Amino acid sequence: MSEEAPSPLRRLWRNLRGRPGAVPLAPLDTAAVEDLAARLQAAGIRRLGRGLSLHAIDPGSCGGCELELRALRGVVYELERFGLRFVDSPRQAEVLLVTGPVTRALQAPLVAAWEATPDPKFVIAIGDCAIDGGVFKGSYAVAGGVDSTLHVDFVVRGCPPAPEEILEGLLLLLEAGAA
């Protein structure tokens, strides 16, 4: 005789008492993050004469890359301590951080944001979907990666990339002399 399936309540209770589903975070290497952020700030001042202003744009991501970007603004990384500002308008930005594939619906607003950004400006494609469409590649709703619509200065691979990898990408962009 087959065993009767547990009721939803019993299953919930069993799951609550069982092992946690989430994996604990690896400890953050605070000194390494602070070093990266300070170098990034110095490179921004050297190349642009001021601290970097970053504007995040999401023309179609699943939200994962967005969350990693948001982590850079939160209490753990708190990039603003180093003068790296996230700004709400592209008019105040030097760097556009674009996450996700470019959906056809948001292609025109992405171009409008780029046009509103003053020169010199740089575009970084954050995550595999922003590079070539990633898991959304081939969808009728997707034009492609960011380079289907804008010139891309730098890419940061990953699904999603970790905040430190995004910081390293920004630093490489500035230190490579693209600015």
Q: Does 128 contact ligand SF4 by CB under 6 A?
A: yes
Residue 69 or 113 having the CB closest to ligand SF4? 69
Measured over the CA atoms of residue 80, residue 99, residue 71 and residue 30, the dihedral's sign is negative
Of the candidate spans 4-12, 59-67, 75-83, 144-152, the one that interacts with ligand SF4 by CB under 6 A turns out to be 59-67
Residue from 59, 90, 100, 169 touching ligand SF4 (CB under 6 A): that is 100
Peptide bond into 160 cis (omega under 30): yes
Closest residue to ligand SF4 in the complex (CB): 64
Where helices occur in the chain by DSSP H, the ranges are 8-17, 30-48, 64-73, 107-116, 128-132, 163-175
- Residue among 41, 53, 61, 107 that touches ligand SF4 (CB under 6 A): 61
DSSP string, 88-134: SSGGG-SEEEEES-EEGGGHHHHHHHHHHSPSS-EEEEESHHHHH-G
Q: Considering the rule CB under 6 A, would residue 65 count as an interface residue with ligand SF4? A: yes
| Chain-centroid distance, C-alpha 116 | 20
- The residue within the footprint of ligand SF4, chosen from 145, 160, 163, 169 (CB under 6 A), is 160
Among 39, 64, 168, 175, binds ligand SF4 (CB under 6 A): 64
- 57 is a contact residue toward ligand SF4 (CB under 6 A): no
Does residue 159 interact with ligand SF4 by CB under 6 A?
yes
Q: Hey, how many other C-beta atoms are within 10 angstroms of the C-beta on 54?
A: 23
CB of 24 to ligand SF4, least distance (A): 20
Print burial letters for 167-176: b (CB count within 10 Å at least 16), e (below 16).
Answer: bbbbbebbee
Interacting span for ligand SF4 (CB under 6 A) from 13-21, 106-114, 128-136, 147-155: 128-136
CA distance 26 to 167: 18
Q: Which residues of this protein are in contact with ligand SF4, per CB under 6 A?
A: 61-62, 64-65, 99-100, 127-129, 134-135, 159-160
